[in-house]
Amino acid sequence: MRRIKLAVFIAAGLIVASLVFVAYSQTQTKAQRHVIYYVDPMHPSYKSDKPGIAPDCGMQLVAVYEGDAGSDASAKIVHVQAPAQPVAIDGHAQQLAGIRVAEVQKGGTARMAHVVGRVTPEDIRTYIVNPGVDGFVRETYNDSVGNFVKKDQKIASYYSPDVLSAASGFLAATERVPGTVGKDGAKFTPNWGGTIAKEGVRSINGYTDHLRNFGMSDEQIKHIAETRELPDSIEVVSPSDGIVLARYITRGMHFDHNMEFYKIADLSQIWVEAEVNEADALSLRPGSMAQVTLQGGGRKFNARVTDSLPQSEPGGDTVKVRLELENHSFALRPDMIVDVDLPLGAMTAVTVPMDALVYSGDRTRVYVERGQGKFEAREVQTGSRVGDQVEILHGITSGDRIVVAGTFLVDSENRMRNPASAPAAMPAPMSASMRAPAAASASRDPAASTPAPVMAPDKSAEMHDHMDSMKTSHEQQHPM
């Protein structure tokens, strides 16, 4: 019995000694070997010449020693991959799956820029109403902001002692020169010619301009000349049909000659300012027609690109384009946001429908018909998009026949029969709560710091089974 215990004890000691020796020898070997660089265990393409933490996942960088497999930068690993075989789908299965093929054509596709615009009043149709004299406001009449006013509509009245002296001089001048009052209240036609009549007319015109400078309208000047009475207040009238954009006076308020009373805009014709890309602005021409639509699928208006040059916007690659349009119904108001469709001319290029493209990460491919129900996957380079058409810069040419409907069913068959052509699934991103324990375990055991990638779900098998079921159903319905 003692011999058996002694033998077991000696065997256990030998095992422990051998393990210690192996661990020591590995430590000595690593200490003697040279570290080339450190890599991110999640993304080996990231390399660093110093140990530390990976910036993307927070895991400890793993050392790569000289002599390790794959550490030699000059070594090249060549992966030999067999060419992908065309996918064969018979005509009956294509009909059942809704697969449709069309010929690629090269032609002119009308390009449109869909942007957002803002309604603004034309500056030449915006009027500033001011008194030109000191005084106080007697009354205001239906002059709230947003109200529609007619031309020569009375919107306020004010008193100023300076106006009375100018009106008295006007009455004295008209009394010395017989004649009739013109329609505008400013022109007088004497009954006889001569120097006296001409000097009288000049005097009347001077007093008339003086009253206008004080803010008096031509209608009120005409009324003074006809009634021969001095006014007790000055009437403020609207200079045009339009909308009151701003109002700065109230009843009983005192004002000086520099103050603005109103800002009134004639909105029968307005501007729409839209921002477009600089590249698209080069295709716009003055006079070209555009379409403005009220947001929410409202009314549409025809607009014209003005002759003014596009204005560059600071801090961006956009320019501001101005459109003008008729607005007799006043449906468009200042600062409204509208949708704008700008024509950019025709694009002469090879285009395909959006449904014909299959996107796999940074690669895009289509399926070209090779005859006898066979389809070949071909990578393409895409350009700009116009509606549901996409420009193809490289990969196919005019005359090729490609799949334009049921593309994903063909793609699923291709990935089942040519697994190497399927895009590699990306690992699922780690949450912040998982990074700390992962980093701690990596620091204890670098070899165990690379987790198994989490593969994205692949529905190719389901698609393949669906195709097989359709073929079986067709064979059962139409036996040979």
Residue 312, in any domain of the structure? yes
- Confidence at 206, pLDDT banded by 50, 70, 90: confident
Range of the domain at 205: 125-265
**DSSP label of 452:** P
Distance CA 64, CA 445 (A): 14
- Confidence at 448, pLDDT banded by 50, 70, 90: very low
Residues 149, 248 within the same domain = yes
Which of 338, 372, 405 terminates a domain? The answer is: 405
pLDDT per position as a tens digit, 354-401: 888 988 877 888 899 888 888 888 888 887 777 677 888 888 888 889
Q: Which of 404, 394, 425, 398 is nearest to 357 (CA)?
A: 404
Token pair 């001409």: residue:
198
Residue 316, in any domain of the structure? yes
The mean per-residue pLDDT over the stretch 393-410 comes to 87
CB-based contact 238:264 (threshold 8 Å): yes
pLDDT per position as a tens digit, 119-170: 999 989 999 998 888 999 999 999 999 999 999 899 999 998 888 778 888 8
Residue 478, in any domain of the structure? no
pTM over 0.75: no
Contacts of 92 (CB under 8 A, 6+ apart): 471, 474, 478
Distance CA 460, CA 294 (A): 45
Residue 56, in any domain of the structure? yes
Q: Which residue has the higher pLDDT, 437 or 474?
A: 474
CB-based contact 398:13 (threshold 8 Å): no
Residues 76, 112 within the same domain = no
Residue 9 Cα distances to 2, 3, 14, 21, angstroms: 11, 10, 9, 18
Distance CA 384, CA 90 (A): 34
Structure tokens at 154: 């009375």
Residues 401, 280 within the same domain = yes
Distance CA 368, CA 414 (A): 12
Distance CA 478, CA 90 (A): 14
Residues 226, 305 within the same domain = no
Distance CA 317, CA 296 (A): 28
CATH of the domain at 241: 2.40.50.100
**DSSP label of 90:** -
Residue 92, in any domain of the structure? no
Domain count, the chain: 4
Residues 148, 234 within the same domain = yes
Residues 337, 445 within the same domain = no
Rg (alpha carbons) of the chain, rounded to whole number: 43
Residue 426, pLDDT score:
37
Mean confidence (pLDDT) of the chain = 74
Residue 94, in any domain of the structure? no
Contacts of 284 (CB under 8 A, 6+ apart): 276, 305, 310, 321, 342, 344
Residues 306, 249 within the same domain = no
CATH of the domain at 375: 2.40.30.170
Residue 279, in any domain of the structure? yes
